[in-house]
Structures are given as C-alpha cells and as structure tokens.
Amino acid sequence: MVPLLELRDVSCTFGGVRAVRGVSFRLKQGEIVGLIGPNGAGKTTLVNLISGVYAPASGQILHRGERVDGMKPFRLAARGIARTFQIVQPFPAMTVLENVMAASLFAARRKGMAAARAAAMEQLEFTGLAPLAHRPAMELTLANRKRLELAKSLAMEPQLLMLDEVNAGLNSAEVEQALELIRAIAARGVTIVIIEHLLKVVMTLCQRVVVLHHGELIADGAPRDVVEDERVVSAYLGARYAERYRRRHA
C-alpha cells in the first residue's frame, strides 16, 4: 500500500546551518507518531517542510505517492495536510467561529458561507468551544487558543494532522483534556504526528516514535524500543530517565 506520507532523504539548510539532514520515514494511514528530540533538533522545521512553509533543499516528500515538496501551504492544506502552530496563529479580531470557518471554507472547500459556518460549528461542538463561538479569538485563554488551533485544523478535514506542542504551557488538567481530544481525533481515522516534550504523553499516546537530533533521524520505532536506544538516551532522554522508565516497566 502507498504510504500516506513519505520523506525520502529530505534536507533543509538555513544559510550554513543544516537544520534537517537526510531524513527519511513513512507514515501509514491512521498512525499516531510522536516526533521528539532536544530543542533545536529540527522538529518544527520538519513540520514546516511537510506543510509547505519551507521547500526542502534536497530530497523528496510524497503524499499518497505524489511529489508535494515545494508546494505552497494552501495547496497542501487543500490536500488534507494540516498543522497547528507552537505559537498559536489565530485571526485575532475575528470571532472563534469565523476563525474555524476560514478553514472549512478554503481548505475543506465547503461550498458557500452557510455550509462553511455549519461545518465550523460542528468542530466547535467537538472541541468544546461552541459557547465561545461569537467571541473574538484574542479574548481566549491560552488553553482555549490551543483548542482553537485544533478546531481550525480539524475544520480543514485533514488526513494528516501535525500537532506542534499543543500541550506546551497548559496545566495538567488542561493537558488531560487536550489528550482526550487528540484521542477522539485519532479515533476518526486521522493520522497524527505530535511534537511533544512531555514524554508521558508520547509514551501513552503514540504507536511509534521518531527521534531527531541535530537534524538527523536517530531512531524510529515503538516507544518502548526507542527509550532503550542508547543514542536516544544520550542525546535526549538522559540516563536517569531511561533508568527510571526501565524500573517502572520492568
């Protein structure tokens, strides 16, 4: 079967800095994949490459077997590749509903404003933002703004959803709510790539973990195997975490 997304030897450079070096991996339909690595490892750059913000310097990106590297973000959005931003990017003066409507109308190609409004309202119900539908986006709390990012990307009716630190800055109760939401999204059959620093989240949520370090892919496998990997331990987890994890799961 053709993978949903395939990266073949993808590299990206900024001036002299090689932010992503020869990364290859495949995503299967319906997977939840964790993308982890230390700060500056190139995780967000990789998401930016896949969503079209940057074009790779070399290598290929294939969506359902077709080359999509170098495509503009709006085209990739229409193909069903959605992402949230680490730093949320709402349309601040627009209402919550209008923010989500934009995604329904343009990325999901809903015909007409009324259809887009109805589709957006569904996503607001799903994410629990419906009571705030007519408030300007800039009035939302951080947790709700993250939720709005999710609702927006869901309204794009994506096949692939990349979540860039949707839990950063949330308290533990809010993280729990966000996880529930992510599980519900996955249950709809959406393939999810999640960048996350909370390892507990990665371990419980993901079927597979991809580890980046200095722009290179150093591990790709089941969460349990990855935390045992020596390179991952030395680059990111640290020996203490690996030891603790091993003891707890012994």
| Binding of other proteins by 83 (CB under 8 A) | yes
| Binding of other proteins by 105 (CB under 8 A) | yes
In the beta sheet, which residues pair with residue 138? none
Q: Which long-range CB contacts under 8 A does 179-184 form with residues at least 24 apart?
A: 179/204, 179/205, 181/127, 181/128, 181/147, 181/150, 182/32, 184/126
> Residue 193 or 211: which CB sits closer to other proteins?
193
> Residue 17 or 113: which CB sits closer to other proteins?
113
> Residue 84 or 191: which CB sits closer to other proteins?
84
Rule CB under 8 A: choose which of 32, 36, 103, 233 binds other proteins: 103
Nearest CA-CA partner of 201 in 85, 23, 24, 32: 32
Rule CB under 8 A: choose which of 63, 147, 152, 213 binds other proteins: 152
Counting residues that bind other proteins (by CB under 8 A) gives 29
Q: Are 79 and 68 contacting, i.e. CB atoms less than 8 angstroms apart?
A: yes
> Residue 53 or 133: which CB sits closer to other proteins?
53
Which stretch in 23-31, 76-84, 164-172, 242-250 sits in contact with other proteins by CB under 8 A? Answer: 76-84
Q: Are 226 and 33 contacting, i.e. CB atoms less than 8 angstroms apart?
A: no
Interatomic CA distance for residues 207 and 203, integer angstroms: 8
Which stretch in 24-32, 108-116, 228-236, 238-246 sits in contact with other proteins by CB under 8 A? Answer: 108-116
| Binding of other proteins by 120 (CB under 8 A) | no
DSSP state of 19: E
In the beta sheet, which residues pair with residue 34? 194, 209
Give whole-number Cα distances, 177 to 143, 172, 184, 188, in Å.
10, 9, 11, 17
| Binding of other proteins by 126 (CB under 8 A) | no
| Binding of other proteins by 133 (CB under 8 A) | no
Give me the residues that bind other proteins (CB under 8 A), please: 51, 53, 72-74, 77-78, 83, 85, 89-94, 98, 101-103, 105-109, 112-113, 116, 152, 156
